[in-house]
Structure 1
Amino acid sequence: MVESGTLLFILALAGVGFSILRRPEAGPTAFWTWGCFALFGSGLCTFILAGFRWSLPVGHALATTYPVFLLAGALVYAERDRPRWLLPVALA
């Protein structure tokens, strides 16, 4: 039960985060904050929830999104366009 509840919480948080980040007025602080959340979620899945089968792949996927959020925040801060292919390439 805890496993499915934690998974639903992570998916809901990711859905809310991506809906916020898809807004054109999202500033660099939003991207950097979500990068920190991704890093925190990766550590949570990798170290604390290590007993569950699904936690390691989710933790590694979240770890690959951390530099993407940092780079996207830097691009927004420099007033440049964010490439749409950035997140799919990180998850590939």
Structure 2
Amino acid sequence: MQTEATPLHDGVKPLPITPLQPITPADMVAIRNARNWKRSNLADYLGCDYTTVWRMENGKASIEGASLRLLNQLKTEQQRPVNS
């Protein structure tokens, strides 16, 4: 659901922000495995460490903030059809 953006200054409108879908620990593992990434690769992408990725994948840490947004982007890319 996107709403009409209110102009900021000089008629410039802010970019719409796509609502985020929840990412479960199982989703996170599937996203990582679809790219054949190790936890350390995903940690580098998310800007955190291996232990944080392990904790998120095992439900010991919540998936939120920038990590949630980046994982949503990866999940969206994963679902796009590949053009031949």
Give TM-score scaled by structure 2 length: 0.30
- Structure number with bigger Rg: 2
- Structure having the higher helix fraction is 1
